[in-house]
Chains A and B, each alone.
Chain A
Amino acid sequence: MRRSSALALGLVVLGIVFLIIGVLYALGVLQIAVSDPHSPHHYTHLILFTVLAVACFVAANFARPKGGIYATDRPKRL
């Protein structure tokens, strides 16, 4: 995976968006593409969007550039 701070930040934002969508489904605010429109809560959607959010956060950690000034493998000063 290509490492970049911008990509990592984008994935974190996307993860937060997924969490918000999941909560909106669970509260019954969102009723898009649901199997039972009469049901007030859609916990299946909450689980799905939570999984998507977790996947985004994991991907963000993979995309985050490793190293930097605090990296343990930086060359020692002679």
Chain B
Amino acid sequence: MTFAQALFMGLLQGASELFPVSSLGHAVLIPSLLHWSFKASDPSFVPFLVLLHLGTATALLIIYRRDWVVVIRGFFTAALRGEIRTDEERLAMLLLVGTIPAAILGVFLENPIKRLFASAYEAAGFLVVNGALMLAFEVLRRRAERRATLEPTSRAEQEEHFAQAERISFRAAALVGACQALAFLPGISRSGVTIGGGLLAGLRHQEAARFSFLLATPVILGAGLVEVPQLFAQGVPVDKYAAGAVLAGIAAYASARFLLRYFRSGRLDPYGWYCICAGLGSLALLHFNL
């Protein structure tokens, strides 16, 4: 991998990790489409992915630094007291409940699933499925808005009728957390399925995105940290990879800021259509070997 390729992959991973468009799908597809010699499914690629994930997780920690201080304090307070009294304590416990299914499924299923579905064809196919899921989430959301007779009001007013992340039920938090396992399939977006799950649980778009990003931080950080020893293997060009990771962090920071602003009134539809078009386009390019 050249220095320019490392920077490009860092930018791509950082931006696509938080957008509901699947970073893994893009990391599998784009090198194949550009006929680059390395593949994201290659074991030698793992140290690079580790650093990119650490870059993304750092960006999320910076954005939500105040939330994390409150959440960690709330966790210890509620855990020691054996009772939840504040919204912050409830959010802390919701994040714990949401992280556990993702951690269990991640440890036991991630590698077998990634090995099974590592080809560019499958990534392109799942990207189409991801797009269809995003559109389906919005269809169900619009139905919920109609049921609540919110149609004629403005988007901002419509969103006000839905809940904040702290109000989600524990069962819904566990289900949203378990949805993250779908993202082991290259082409299915972790943030997409968790934001969609949050919408189904009755959260506002912006709150669903916030819950998704908070939920992703320990998973991305944990997955990165446990692989850190691989960085010290011989022959790993850490400087080149670190430059990619810094760019990934900057891209993740910018994309998280953009998405939190966008989801004040925006929906998942544009990302759904993008995934369907990108997936179908990639399938055509791969089929005709262009």
Contact = CB atoms under 8 A, between A and B. Distances in A.
Interface of A: 33, 35, 43-45, 47-48, 51-52, 55, 58, 61-62, 64, 66
B107 A66 contact: no
A52 B97 CA distance: 10
Given A33-B108, A48-B107, A64 B100 contact: no
**SS class, residues of chain B in contact with chain A:** helix
B79 A58 contact: yes
B82 interface: yes
A66 B82 CA distance: 9
B96 A62 contact: no
A58 B107 contact: no
A43, A55, A66 pick with most chain B CB within 10 angstroms: A55
Nearest to B96: A55
A55 B82 contact: no
A60 B111 CA distance: 32
Contacts of A44: 107, 226
B109 to A, nearest CB: 9
Given A43-B226, A51-B99, 18 more contacts: A33-B108, A35-B110, A35-B112, A45-B107, A47-B222, A47-B226, A48-B103, A48-B104, A48-B107, A51-B100, A52-B104, A55-B100, A58-B96, A61-B79, A62-B82, A62-B83, A64-B82, A66-B83
B80 interface: yes
**SS class, residues of chain A in contact with chain B:** helix
A65 to B, nearest CB: 10
9 contacts: A35-B110, A35-B112, A44-B107, A44-B226, A48-B107, A55-B96, A58-B96, A61-B82, A62-B83
Contacts of B103: 48, 51
A33 B112 CA distance: 10
Interface residues of B, number: 18
Contacts of A66: 82-83
A35 B82 CA distance: 36
Interface in B77-119: 79-83, 93, 96, 99-100, 103-104, 107-108, 110-112
Contacts, number: 32
Contacts of A45: 107
A34 to B, nearest CB: 9
A12 to B, nearest CB: 13
B86 to A, nearest CB: 15
Nearest to B114: A35
A61 B80 contact: yes
B221 to A, nearest CB: 12
A76 to B, nearest CB: 23
A56 B146 CA distance: 41
A14 to B, nearest CB: 13
A45 B107 CA distance: 7
Contacts of B222: 47
A52 B226 contact: no
A2 B83 CA distance: 12
A52 B100 contact: yes
A35 B111 CA distance: 6
